[in-house]
Every structure is written in C-alpha cells, then in structure tokens.
Structure 1
Amino acid sequence: MATIKFQGKPVNTCGELPAVGSKAPDFTLVNGKLAEVSLASYSGKKKCLNIVPSLDTPTCAASARKFNQKAASLENGVVLVVSADLPFAQARFCQMEGARDIVPLSTFRSSFARDYGVELVDSVLAGLTARAIVIIDEEDRVVYTELVPELADEPDYESALAAMHEID
C-alpha cells in the first residue's frame, strides 16, 4: 500500500507500482471501439502509461494534452492514457481536444488498477486510480515509474519522456 495526498489529505492505494526492472503486469483495458486490448497489443513498442483518475478533471486533461503534444515525437513509442472514464467519454475528450497522438484506454471491465497498485481504497475517490506514470520498454520491462504524491498535481513529464527516449 502506498499513501498519496488528495488536497493535502492522505489517501491510500491498494498496493505499489510495479518495480523498475520487473516484467510489466499484463493488462486488459477497453479501447474506443469497446474492444479489449492487452500489453501484447503494443508488443515491440515503448509504452508510456499515463494513468489518471478521470479525463473530466482539469489536471488529468492537462496531462493528456501535454503527452499528446509530445507523443508524435516518440520513436517506436505509444502513450496510453488509462482512466476510469467510459470509452465514449474518452473518445469525446480526444475529439474535442484534437488529441490524435495518444491512445485512451478505459479500466472499464478491468482489474488494471489493482494489478498496477494504483486503485484508491479510501476517501471519496475510492475505486478511481492514483495519478501515475509507468514506462515500459519493448520487451515489457518496467524502466520508470512515478506515483504522483499529490493527486491534484501533474506528473514529472520531463523525467517520463527522458525515460522513453533512453530506451534502446
């Protein structure tokens, strides 16, 4: 269990992020066509998991926008924006924002939040995810993680993107 803060108050997650150097846990998430995708769907690519509670919040939206701006420059990489939003809401967000370089994926019908240790287990946000970044290399090894200490804050974009660029 990890503890972060939401508006300065402690909030606990169900576990810990996958360890750097470990094999990334497989996942099943739902895309905009309501099809299930897994880690294997992005085999051979560098993966940036931008995990957010909901694209309906200002910080999550800002994070998705920022990664969308940077995603096109990633060689052999993909930015997966993972949230609890339904695929319809994610598609609407991407359409309204012109976000074409990120892949929104929903935790709808998924154990992803528990498997990646980011499910919030208490507070009014119980059931949503903490804000986190997980960078996974082409061989599905975790090379970088960040659990954002204050849920209302944005992640460290520079470090996450540097980790994506450093993967050989």
Structure 2
Amino acid sequence: MNRSPADARHAQSRNFTIKVRAQTFGLPVECVKTIFHIDALTPVPLAPREVAGLANLRGRIVTALHLDRCLKLDTDGERAPGALAVGIEQHGERYALLIDDTGDVVTCDERDRIAYPTHVGPQLAEATNACYRVGDGFLPILDIDVLLKRMSRQVDAASQREATGGGER
C-alpha cells in the first residue's frame, strides 16, 4: 500500500499511559524499559522530597522519584511498600517513577495534537512536550528531560545550601 504525501506528513508517536493521582499521562514508549513493584527503598539523606530513595532493579541501583511530587500533584500521603514503578532510562541513567497504575500503549497522531488546556497550571504544562486529543479527553505527554533537569536543579540547590551551612530542615 502506498502512502500519499499528505499521510506521510502526519507523524505518529506511541506512548505508554500511566496514572498519577487520578490523572492520565503518556510516556514515550522508547523511554519505558520495565514496570515493576518496589519492595524496599533506601532513603537518601538531604535529597529533595521528590526523591523517594534508591531501589534495586534486577541488581542495579536506580533512583526512585515520586512522580506526583515532580509534577506538583502531590498530597501528603506516602506510598506503601510494593509501590508500582515505571523503569525508564534517560541519557544512560536509570530511574524508577512511582505511579498509581498503568494503562495501554496509545498511538497519537500529529493531527490530534492540541494546545495545552488553559485550566492546567504552568508547572504541569512545562513538564510536557505535547498534548493530544484522545477520545473525550486529552493526553499530556511527559517530557522526561524537563523533569530530570528540574530534579537536578533541586539537588544542586540543596547541595549548595548544605555546603554553605544554610540547609533548612
């Protein structure tokens, strides 16, 4: 079957859907390496509150992140042991994103791309790289680079405060 030039211009992306605090998000399929339950977390002293701790994933140590806190969606509740996580790899580093549930892989067509809804806060909007119309709703696609850069800035700021003796507890 030959594709017309018009069809070729409409790129598609495949995204793995996850739920965090009753909201659905997409992760690019190529970032997702595994889904697993975290049995135990080792706390990281002086880490930002977004860092849940260190976890063992098949003999490798990964940094576990509270995705809800990274997206500024958090409540005060802590996750119980056995929390569900998505294992991702970005720039050679592995992370575990703590989530509430997983969904399907959906194919998003560029023709369904929409502007980010205005009722959504800027913190959340800046953590996404696209938003697609899916059924009756919309699916924001998380920008892993932005989330990890945010974390890096927070870690650097915490280290700076600690080094100058200005750490808050």
Class of the TM-score when normalised by the shorter of the 2 chains: under 0.3
TM score, norm. by length of structure 1: 0.24
TM score, norm. by length of structure 2: 0.24
Larger Rg: 2
